[in-house]
Amino acid sequence: MHATTQLLAIDDLCNRVSSFFTDAQVDKVRRAYEFSAEAHSGQLRLSGEPYVQHPLEVANILAEMHMDQDTLVAAMLHDVIEDTETGKEKISSEFGSEVATIVDGLSKLTQIEFDSPAEKQASNFQKMLMAMADDIRVILVKLADRLHNMRTLGALAPDKRRRIARETLEIYAPIAQRLGINGIRLELEELGFATLYPMRYRVIKKEIQRIRGNRKEVITKINNRLKHSLRQEHLVTHIVGREKHLFSIYSKMKEKRVPFSEVNDVYAFRIIVDSVDTCYRVLGVAHNLYHPVPGKFKDYIAIPKANGYQSLHTVLFGPFGVPIEVQIRTNEMDQVAEAGIAAHWLYKSGGSAAKSAHKRAREWLRGVLEMHTQAGDSQEFLEHVRVDLFPSDIYVFTPKGEILEMPRGATAVDVAYAIHTDIGDTCVACRINRRLAPLRTPLETGQTVEIVTAPGARPNPAWLTFVITGKARAMIRHFLKNLKADEAQTLGRRMLERELEYFSLSLGTLPKDRFDATLGNFKLNTIDDLLTEIGLGDRPALLVARSLAGVQEELPKPKRRRRLLRRSTAPNPLLIHGTEGMVVSFPKCCYPIPGDPIIGILTAGRGIVIHQPSCANVVEGRDNKDKWVDVEWAHGIDQEFNVELSLDVVNKRGVLATIAAAVAEENGNIEDVVLSERDEKYAHMRLIVALKDRKHLADLIRKLRRIKTVVRVMRKKA
């Protein structure tokens, strides 16, 4: 390799690792380089340099983190399976199963056809995270790989550069933060920001350079005062100035909608000490020197962040009215703050902070694994992980005093699922600071949250509108999907049995070969799959019944199908109880209630939707009568159904309260109300009221008509 190319040489890497590797380990790294160079022989990067330079640079980044030999060897080989003819077995035989497992986890899925680039990206990400759960070193190699790719983006087309930069900022930088690898995170964010928003990057960078000189004197003065006060207390410390990096400044400007001057007008210092006890003593000195800003003190030593980060944070009123941001931590905490889980390898002392970071990373990965098992597909899984990667901001307590770290805006349902999936599934209420509160209440730091469960309770679809953690969202969706499939199967069985009656057949009497032939025709595996499709409205029950009956010619429609706009006269119509789940639903177009004539319309993916025969949506679908289903109300329904009422009222104060009182007296419940002025004298009102049946509705209308301020009241026509 020529010196003029200024490229990293394998000798440089070997010299670097020789300080903490044995000679045999150094030889293994060199052998991996030679293996990679031979496998990638003839391949060039878009920049024109030999391809093997990329894995060499990735291994060098990991060597700076003092990673073990297997990680460096895997870094050398991380593209071999994907880009060459070499297989996993060859790598395993040459370098061991651990190296082969890491490399395989990093190899993209190239043998599978995907419908879209987004699906392919999500599937590759899913595969990598699953491999990471087996060996956490997979993600360390991937982060180093991404970092070198970001450093060399210049050779790519602009649109590809932007796509990679956006993916880095949305996924890989947050993963680095979640695992506490601060050094890599900062560089990924800086490079991603410069690529995705080059103009904004240049403007902020220029501003920082402009004001840096003006601040030098103030920073020196604060630094000297801190050192003098700490020396007087005989505290041995190391103080360093800390400058915010550009992406952090930009993110705060965007989040808080404030100008650059307000975000960057902060003097930041980090004070490194020898013990936890000294941390708190230094905090006392700092608070005596400058007054603390109320509400800005955070104790991450007593309550570490999810990635194991520990430090005391405080903000002080400094000279000239400027705030001073101070972080106080021990040497070991500082090492973990920069290296995160990599401190497990970087600092072999086995300190508690490094072990804590590694343990917390493992706990997060267990949650990721659980999300993976419940996610419907790779894109849904990626969405859940994205949500979960945002940093946690609040701390709440269980009734036993255990601390839970949750994202800002989390609710009691998020807490329930964070404790255990079964608690989340059976959650019915919560107490916040011993008082009953709605499940959707956003939690705040310091609150005690008690989850109330009930046997037989199940997740509510409405929870998806307010939960914010990836685990809660994944578990609720998984439960509802299974629930929908079970209900669809039950409904499909009822519908098919009813159709088979016209051929004097039933599911219990049909021979197995009929089932096999029908399943083959429809390209389905089991009878349960077939019943589910019928229940979801994806396949007409009549068509399936004809196939099972072995009838090939077109049959005349049974009489009951010719006059569906009347009340059903079929011998066995489906009975609607009003308690059906996700595959029998009631629309907002015509609001049918018990006592109304009804028909059902099979709707793909939604099962049976119940309408009144006069509904406009039924009239529009009269040409698709194969999707119409005879239905009737069951007897003794004890449910409430929404009805829409239209009222003209005298426009005077208190009219709404009078109407609400009348509805309450009739045991109704107002679900929604819209009041619009027509003129100075009259107003129009639209009410959605929950009632039991047509008799209940008639009683309410009579009650409303007796109110003097009500000019007209009528049920909205379908």
DSSP string, 117-129: HHHHHHHHHHHHH
Quick count: other Cβ atoms within 10 Å of Cβ 702? 11
- The answer to whether residue 515 sits within a structural domain is yes
Regarding whether 652 and 628 lie in a shared domain, the answer is no
Quick count: other Cβ atoms within 10 Å of Cβ 108? 17
Q: What is the mean pLDDT of residues 490-494?
A: 82
* pLDDT (tens digit per residue) in 181-215: 788 888 999 999 999 999 999 988 888 777 766 66
| Choice between 663 and 81, residue whose per-residue pLDDT is larger | 663
CA distance 559 to 569: 9
Q: Which residues are catalytic?
A: 82-83
- The answer to whether residue 706 sits within a structural domain is yes
CA distance 318 to 326: 11
* pLDDT (tens digit per residue) in 319-375: 766 778 899 998 888 877 776 665 544 444 445 555 555 555 555 555 655 555 555
- The answer to whether residue 201 sits within a structural domain is no
* pLDDT (tens digit per residue) in 402-455: 777 788 888 999 999 988 889 999 998 999 988 888 898 898 877 889 999 988
pLDDT band at 554 (very low <50, low <70, confident <90, very high): very low
* pLDDT (tens digit per residue) in 104-142: 877 754 444 445 566 555 565 555 556 555 677 788 888
Q: What is the mean pLDDT of residues 517-537?
A: 84
- The tally of CA atoms less than 13 A away on the side-chain side of residue 576 is 27
- The answer to whether residue 191 sits within a structural domain is no
CATH number, position 87: 1.10.3210.10
Report the pLDDT value the prediction gives residue 2, as an integer from 0 to 100: 36
Tally the domains of the chain: 5
Strand runs labelled E in 535-588: 574-576, 584-585
Of 433, 468, 503, which residue sits at a domain end? 468
CA distance 186 to 225: 30
Regarding whether 218 and 328 lie in a shared domain, the answer is yes
Whose tokens are 């698709």? That residue is 624
Q: Which domain holds residue 124?
A: 3-151
Regarding whether 430 and 330 lie in a shared domain, the answer is no
Report the pLDDT value the prediction gives residue 415, as an integer from 0 to 100: 93
With a CB cutoff of 8 Å and minimum separation 6, the contacts of 331 are 272, 273, 274
pLDDT band at 559 (very low <50, low <70, confident <90, very high): very low
CA distance 131 to 96: 16
Regarding whether 671 and 598 lie in a shared domain, the answer is no
Report the pLDDT value the prediction gives residue 195, as an integer from 0 to 100: 92
Report the pLDDT value the prediction gives residue 4, as an integer from 0 to 100: 35
Max mean pLDDT range (145-154, 235-244, 386-395, 675-684): 145-154
Cα–chain-centroid distance for residue 35? 40
Question: What whole-number percentage of the chain has pLDDT above 90?
Answer: 14
Report the pLDDT value the prediction gives residue 125, as an integer from 0 to 100: 58
Tell me 395's DSSP state.
E
Whose tokens are 């449910």? That residue is 639
Report the pLDDT value the prediction gives residue 369, as an integer from 0 to 100: 56
* pLDDT (tens digit per residue) in 619-650: 766 666 667 777 888 887 878 888 999 999 98
Locate 52 and state its tokens. Answer: 């093997």
Report the pLDDT value the prediction gives residue 388, as an integer from 0 to 100: 52
CA distance 259 to 253: 6
- The answer to whether residue 672 sits within a structural domain is yes
Q: How many residues does the chain have?
A: 718
Whose tokens are 């009422």? That residue is 645
Regarding whether 492 and 620 lie in a shared domain, the answer is yes
* pLDDT (tens digit per residue) in 243-273: 678 888 888 888 777 887 777 556 788 899 9
Q: Long-range CB contacts (< 8 A, 24+ apart) of 418-424?
A: 418/469, 418/471, 418/472, 419/451, 421/370, 421/475, 423/451, 423/453, 424/459, 424/472, 424/475, 424/476
Regarding whether 223 and 336 lie in a shared domain, the answer is yes
Which bin fits 652, alpha (ψ -120 to 50), beta or left (φ > 0)?
Answer: beta
* pLDDT (tens digit per residue) in 649-698: 988 888 888 998 999 899 888 888 887 767 778 888 889 898 989 999 99
Quick count: other Cβ atoms within 10 Å of Cβ 456? 6
Q: What is the mean pLDDT of residues 704-717?
A: 89
Q: What is the mean pLDDT of residues 164-180?
A: 83
Of 468, 486, 521, which residue sits at a domain end? 468
Report the pLDDT value the prediction gives residue 564, as an integer from 0 to 100: 35
Task: Give Cα separations from 109 to 82, 96, 160 (angstroms).
Answer: 8, 22, 20
Regarding whether 653 and 620 lie in a shared domain, the answer is no
- The answer to whether residue 179 sits within a structural domain is no
Regarding whether 441 and 484 lie in a shared domain, the answer is no
Strand runs labelled E in 385-443: 394-397, 403-406, 427-432, 435-437
Regarding whether 130 and 48 lie in a shared domain, the answer is yes
Burial of 147 (0-12, 13-18, 19+ CB in 10 A): buried
Regarding whether 561 and 667 lie in a shared domain, the answer is no
Task: Please provide residue 643's backbone torsions phi and psi, each rounded to the nearest 5 degrees.
Answer: -130, 140
Burial of 542 (0-12, 13-18, 19+ CB in 10 A): buried
- The answer to whether residue 655 sits within a structural domain is yes
Q: What is the DSSP string of 344-391?
A: HHH-TT--HHHHHHHHHHHHHHHHHHHHHHH-SSHHHHHHHHHHHHSP
CA distance 482 to 30: 52
Average per-residue pLDDT in the chain?
A: 79
CATH number, position 452: 3.10.20.30
The b/e string for 266-283 (b: 16+ C-beta within 10 A; e otherwise) is bbbbbbbbeebebbebbb
Locate 683 and state its tokens. Answer: 């107003």
Of 104, 121, 151, which residue sits at a domain end? 151
* pLDDT (tens digit per residue) in 26-72: 899 899 999 988 888 888 888 788 888 999 999 998 888 888 888 89
Question: What 3-state DSSP class applies to 314?
Answer: strand
- The answer to whether residue 369 sits within a structural domain is no
Whose tokens are 């789940």? That residue is 581
Regarding whether 558 and 513 lie in a shared domain, the answer is yes
Radius of gyration of the chain from its Cα atoms, rounded to whole angstroms: 34
Regarding whether 48 and 13 lie in a shared domain, the answer is yes
CA distance 193 to 253: 14
Task: Give Cα separations from 509 to 515, 535, 544, 549, 614 (angstroms).
Answer: 11, 21, 16, 11, 39
